[in-house]
Amino acid sequence: MSAPEKDRLCRDEIIAQVSFLTFAATDTTSNALSRIFHLLSENLEVQEKVRDEIAAAFVQNGGDLGYDALMGLPFLDAVCKETLRLHAPIPFVMRQAAEDTMLSLSEPVKCFKGEKKQEIMVPKGTRIFISILNSNRDPNVWGPDAAEWKPERWMNPLPDTVLNAKVPGVYSHMMTFIGGGRSCIGFKFSQLEMKVILSLMLQTFKIEPSGKKIEWQFNAVAHPMTEDAPVTAAGKKVQLPMKLTLL
């Protein structure tokens, strides 16, 4: 309530924002965390490296890992970024053109009559599906290993192709959290939440595969499940069994 009158949110706006943050925290973020745990269980060397970094940070900070220290852990950040790049929780979004727009393309497309165009007209009211995964995995941008999970790619300067692509996302040259005025309002909170949980879980447990094959179902949000998962009214039951060993 201390904000200037012109910057204050009305009651309906506050309710809408709180609802949005709650949705982001309980669905997209939780499934992003599930994907990280799944990948770490399959890549124990990476898991151990993250654990060592977290443990060293706790020692250096007297057992109390504050915001700046946690967010400044480079390899933990690399694991989160690479997972959010390769496995964005929301694979695509839909937008509707508010006005007639000439849309520029990064690469020319071949039309039905054979001619190539570098831009296309999008009439007002047109619904456009934006593939987040396609943008985040584009080999022309991220290189020939774009489809591989490699946290170490973030430990070095990104290639010029990433910087020159000028992807309009709000987060690390990707479209995971979209971009512009309708980008994810909770993307920084999401990063903090993931890193807090990872820092506590990894210093407490060793995480390994359960032996069951994990499948990821792509709906509005990607969800994990097993081959033998029970079927509910909403489809296969969401689950990610893992083996936890107390350290």
Binding site per annotation, positions for heme: 184
Greatest Cα pair distance in the chain: 68
* Torsion of the alpha carbons at 28, 29, 33 and 36, rounded to the nearest 10: 70
List residues forming the annotated binding site: 184
Can you name the residues that pair with 103 across neighbouring β-strands? 120
The Cα 67–Cα 69 span in angstroms is: 6
* Torsion of Cα atoms, 195 then 151 then 38 then 168, to 10°: 70
Cα–Cα distance for residue pair 27/66, rounded to 1 Å: 25
CB burial of 191-210 (b: ≥16 within 10 Å; e: otherwise) equals bebbbeebbebbbebbbeee
Instruction: Give me the phi and psi of 88, to 5 degrees please.
Output: -60, 130
Provide the 10 A C-beta neighbour count for residue 222. Answer: 19
Which residue type occupies 61?
A: N
3-state DSSP call for residue 92?
strand
